[in-house]
Structure 1
Amino acid sequence: MRIHRLVLALAAIACASGLAVAQTKELKIAHISSRAGPLEPFSTQSSRGMKLGFEYATNGTMEVAGRKIVLLDKDDQMKADVGKTLLQSAYKDEGVDIAVGPASSAVALAMIQVARENKKLLIIDMAAAENLTSTKGSKYAFRIGRNSDHDAYSNAFVYGKPGTFIATLAPDYAFGREGMASFKAAMKGKPATFVEEVYAPAGTADFTPYATKLFNALKDKPGRKVILFIWAGAGNPMKVFDLNPQRYGIEMMTIGGTLLMLNAGARPLIGNEAATSYYFRCPKNAINDWMVKEHQKRFNEPPDFFVPNGFMTAQAIVELVKKTNGKTDDTELMIKTLNSIAFDSPKGKVFFKNNQLMQPMYHYEYIENPEWKDTKWKGVDVKCKGEISIEDMNVPTTVLKN
């Protein structure tokens, strides 16, 4: 009898000990992104935002539901095979609970396959190709950042006006083609007219043949003539300005968003307008104020385009783990829970719908700021003209199944 009681006592101690371990177990999050090369600045922005977001969402404890948050930063080298290998290892060898990333849409497509095969959660923080959460998506892959449909529908709100003739320029890979397909879909029913779409290889140095095709399509049109472009990575479509589109009365503007880091080269765009996912002056709320203040204090500059992506990723993960009471070994529960989450963010109220975080965008105009004349932004700033609400855009989403 005494032995039996001893066994029961030891079992009780073991159970209590196991519970304590479970409550203090690390919450491992792998952030797989491009740590070098042309997308490195974007990855750095998101990483900074994620650390700030975890700090904000946990009130500085870096713990949620009794679990210490551990971030594992990894470099996919902007290569799909490297991204796949890193994600497989993170799931299988390192036991990560949630994976985040990447910046490249091509790498994201490869990583979604791994998430599906392992039946584990992947949260895409930056990659924007619309098909990542539709035709080539998976119920295991969620997206925090805006997708190319957000870019498209918000800019259709700005440019879909009578008497406007539009030609487009984009890189010849998933991000570019999906982005422009989304824009054309968003413009259906709008009174503006499409006249040409041009795709140039990623990394293009000489834009002359592509610009010539765009100029020829627009130069004889009456009314407003606009080249709208999106770009990411190597190559600089702003070189089209060197060929003087203004001589034909042609405007040129990006519809891929505002990057503070590129303001110095955006002087030719002063006076032009478009829509963007984020510029630090645009959102008017206490969370954005905190993020801007802390980022300025720590990095001596305002937060750029992808900082809120990382911040909102951290917020979503904390909300998710709170709602599951720290449970991350039931992926179906996590999927159901994440799709039910809404929260206040640096961009205001946001919520998930069919694995995509729905969020407002912002109507803006490039302006000259004399106070920035001697800064690295060379006097170029952005004036925020208003919020484009989730309801104004009505961005489509897709129910994802495997």
Structure 2
Amino acid sequence: MIRRHLIAAAALATVAASGAAFAQSNEIRIAHIYSKTGPLEAYGKQTAVGLQMGLEYATGGTMMVNGKKIVLIEKDDQGKPDLGKSLLAAAYSDDKAALAIGPTSSGVALAMLPVAEEYKKVLIVEPAVADSITGDKWNKYIFRTGRNSSQDAISNAVAVDKAGVTLATLAQDNAFGRDGVKAFAGAIKKAKLVHEEYLPPATTDFTAGAQRLIDKLKGVPGRKIIWIVWAGAGNPFK
């Protein structure tokens, strides 16, 4: 419920902080930039439905805040960083969006961060998880409503970080995968991490990567675990 109210509250705060020209408008324009298509389409659709439901819930079905109508502008970044960056710039400049929400991909989010700073407008990141979004790449216009890679990693590490356990990781070779493994490795204190395997995000045949993981763990005594960080169409569990 808190996350549902956050977007409407952020929109209202943005209106209050905007200039006179926007204050005279009868609309609050919000850009939602996400993976409507592409490898993360399933996650994008969930976010779009949740955002619409959240706005309706937070406004009691009126889609109004402080007498102003909320206009939701949807844009498809297709999971492409350059496209997401240009769409955000267009949303702020051409569509006159008061703030933006998204994207689905961490790589797209990282490309968007400088745009929010350039236009001095809020970007609420949801659901991209890379630590660097609100870490070393962060600026004061960036807010996050979801979890990050470290939170995922620490909770998983608690379950497997035991003496005598040997670990290997499999992840996508992108910001999401690498930040996830970095956070996981940093949270491991007792177990031993012997190999990190990174594959292209669009991988569907995991045979070669799986063989490298098996070879690294072969002959190692004790419990052996492969920790996987993956999102999108490919399924390493098949």
TM range (shorter): 0.7 to 0.9
Q: Is the 8 A contact 2:204 2:235 kept in 1?
A: yes
Shift in Å, 1:168: 0.4
Q: Is the 8 A contact 2:39 2:202 kept in 1?
A: no
Mapped pair 1:72 → 2:70: no
Structure 2 counterpart SS, 1:222: coil
Partner in structure 2 of residue 34 of structure 1: 35
Partner in structure 1 of residue 4 of structure 2: none
C-alpha separation between the residues in 2 aligned to 1:79 and 1:191? 38
Normalised by the length of structure 2, the TM-score is 0.86
Partner in structure 1 of residue 186 of structure 2: 185
C-alpha separation between the residues in 1 aligned to 2:193 and 2:141? 36
Structure 2 counterpart SS, 1:238: coil
C-alpha separation between the residues in 1 aligned to 2:25 and 2:141? 26
C-alpha separation between the residues in 2 aligned to 1:76 and 1:194? 35
Structure 2: gaps spanning 5 or more residues: 1-19
C-alpha separation between the residues in 2 aligned to 1:35 and 1:134? 26
Summarize deviations over 1:215-274 as a string: whole Å, max 9, x none.
1222322222111101122422114xxxxxxxxxxxxxxxxxxxxxxxxxxxxxxxxxxx
Q: Is the 8 A contact 1:23 1:66 kept in 2?
A: no
One-letter amino acid matched to 1:216: D
Partner in structure 1 of residue 55 of structure 2: 54
Structure 1: gaps spanning 5 or more residues: 1-18, 240-402
C-alpha separation between the residues in 2 aligned to 1:34 and 1:229? 22
Structure 1 counterpart SS, 2:163: coil
One-letter amino acid matched to 1:50: L
Counterparts in 2 of 1:250-269, with a 5 A limit?
none
One-letter amino acid matched to 2:116: A
C-alpha separation between the residues in 1 aligned to 2:100 and 2:23? 20
Shift in Å, 1:101: 0.9
Partner in structure 2 of residue 237 of structure 1: 236
Partner in structure 2 of residue 197 of structure 1: 196
When the two chains are superposed, the root-mean-square deviation of aligned CA atoms in Å is: 1.8
One-letter amino acid matched to 1:149: S
Structure 2 counterpart SS, 1:179: helix
Q: Is the 8 A contact 1:23 1:65 kept in 2?
A: no
Counterparts in 2 of 1:128-207, with a 5 A limit?
128-187=129-188, 190-207=189-206
One-letter amino acid matched to 1:39: L
Shift in Å, 1:24: 7.1
C-alpha separation between the residues in 1 aligned to 2:121 and 2:192? 44
Shift in Å, 1:22: 4.6
Q: Is the 8 A contact 1:24 1:66 kept in 2?
A: no
One-letter amino acid matched to 2:211: T
Partner in structure 2 of residue 226 of structure 1: 225
Q: Is the 8 A contact 1:99 1:121 kept in 2?
A: yes
Shift in Å, 1:66: 2.1
C-alpha separation between the residues in 1 aligned to 2:93 and 2:31? 12
Partner in structure 1 of residue 46 of structure 2: 45
Structure 2 counterpart SS, 1:220: coil
Counting aligned pairs with the same residue, the percent is: 53
1:222–1:98 distance in 2 versus 1, CA, 3 Å: same
C-alpha separation between the residues in 2 aligned to 1:166 and 1:226? 5
Q: Is the 8 A contact 1:34 1:43 kept in 2?
A: yes
